[in-house]
Amino acid sequence: MMKYWVYVLMGLLITSGVFAAKGAYAQDNMWYPGDGLEKGLLVKYRLAGFDYKGGQPFQATIWFGEQDDAGNWITDVIIEDRGDVITSKMTLSAFNLSPIGFDVSEEFQPYRSAIKGSLSWTGEYANQRDPKPLTSGGGAKAWGIIAAIGGGGIIVAPMGAETIQAAGQSWDTAIIGFHYAVDSKIWIKDGFPLPIKAKVYTIASIQPIPVQYEFELLETRMSETAPVPPESTQELPEPPLSKPTTSGAFSVDLYWEPATIEPGKSTTMGVVIFDRQHDVKRGALYNILITGANDKVVLDLKKVVAQEGQGTHEVTFDSPGRFHVAVTYLGDQEGGLPETIIEKAEFDLIVVPEFPLGAAAVIAAMIGMMIIITRFKKISIPTIK
């Protein structure tokens, strides 16, 4: 009888040990945005989202400083975008580290949206109350389904493991992702509160398939104080600039000469539109809109015809500063795109001052209007064959 109870006791100990080991293993391989997060964490990422200026990259530094009464994180954010520096507070949910509230400036709003649609994307599936597995073993379930297409679904699930380099160190990561024409991957480190890296493609079958968003960790450390923003610098874009349109089915190249745009001097701008095979769209119809500070319209032309594969415009800016160029492809002369489809590519240009910055600011303030001269002619670059 005593031997029987000894065996029973041993069996219970072994069984409890197995369950304990399984529980510990499962805990080590479950993750959610915010896992392991501590006050004072600083992270810096390079991000690019298709919905933000067609994938123009920028850098975002996020410092987790304080928490509100609900446990949400009040973060300090520094954006560095082609020389511009924008700072803001941003509240991230304790539930899944997704941006919440609307307490940000209009200037910061596009970056908040880009962060929510990329760095915080995993929060759509994993959260503090429902962590998800980083491995596919042991009967682990998929994270979820993106959408039903043709009666099926796009499954988000673990896809393996990989050691990657980021922020000056090696990371043993799990890959979470999905497959639709190509593999979309997000690299996650167990115990680190945000993904380390990602490259996620749009749900499309056109070739080449546009990237929906991508990011990579550049720096991480603990800091007792908020980071000091760097000084803004003026980075001059160089021609040509190339951007995909809204769906990624087309692309637009923007040329200008001379390469340095100065106020009071004529600048020749060229627009070339390509299809998904990167063949020039001859006879393309497009709108071009150039705006300056406070969305002041500098140039607004409708249904321009690129007769020989390109449209050209001469513009004279009367003040320095940053200007926004939007080119909207409308189709061609044989048939336009449906009105519900918007194929737009957006660019930023900088007009440099002729004088020292202080004098240029005074002169710019005195100038009431910009002088625009628009005409069409064939420019030497690019050569359309």
330-340: pLDDT as tens digits: 998 777 777 66
Instruction: Output the six-digit token pair for 242.
Output: 């190339």
| Across 84-98, 233-247, 316-330, 356-370, least confident range | 356-370
Q: Which of 38-47, 173-182, 235-244 has the lowest mean pLDDT?
A: 235-244
- Percentage of residues in the chain having pLDDT higher than 70: 82
Q: Which residue has the higher pLDDT, 308 or 222?
A: 222
How much is the average pLDDT of 154-167?
A: 96
Burial class (CB in 10 A: 0-12, 13-18, 19+), 278: exposed
Residues 102-126: tens digit of each pLDDT = 778 888 999 999 999 999 999 999 9
The residues of the chain that CATH labels 2.60.40.1930 are 241-366
Q: Tell me the CATH architecture of domain 35-222.
A: Clam (2.50)
Tell me which fold the domain 241-366 belongs to. Immunoglobulin-like (2.60.40)
Please name the residues in contact with 239: beta carbons below 8 A apart, sequence gap of 6 or more.
254, 255, 256, 257, 259, 381
- Residue 151: pLDDT above 70? no
**Quick one: pLDDT band at residue 354, thresholds 50, 70, 90?**
low
Pairwise CA distance, residues 213 & 198, whole Å: 8
Give per-residue pLDDT as tens, 171-199: 999 999 999 989 999 999 999 999 999 99
DSSP class per residue in 155-219: EEEEEEEEEEEETTEEEEEEEEEEEESEEEEEEE-TT-SS-SEEEEE-S--SSSPPEEEEEEEEE
Least confident of 91-95, 238-242, 258-262, 365-369: 365-369
pLDDT exceeds 70 at position 69: yes
Residue 288: pLDDT band with limits 50, 70, 90:
very high
Which residues is 90 bridged to in the sheet? 75
pLDDT the model gives residue 149: 56
Question: pLDDT tier at 385 (50, 70, 90 boundaries)?
Answer: low
pLDDT at position 138 is 60
The residue type at 298: V
d(CA 163, CA 187): 9
* Mean pLDDT of the 282-305 span: 91
Which part of the chain is CATH 2.50.20?
A: 35-222
Lowest mean pLDDT across 193-202, 211-220, 274-283: 274-283
User: Residue 157 and residue 37: Cα distance in Å, rounded?
Assistant: 23
- pLDDT exceeds 80 at position 218: yes
What is the percentage of the chain residues whose pLDDT exceeds 90?
59
pLDDT band per the 50, 70, 90 thresholds, residue 376? very low
Question: What is the per-residue pLDDT for 383?
Answer: 58
Helix (H) or strand (E) holding 361: helix 357-366
- pLDDT at position 13 is 39
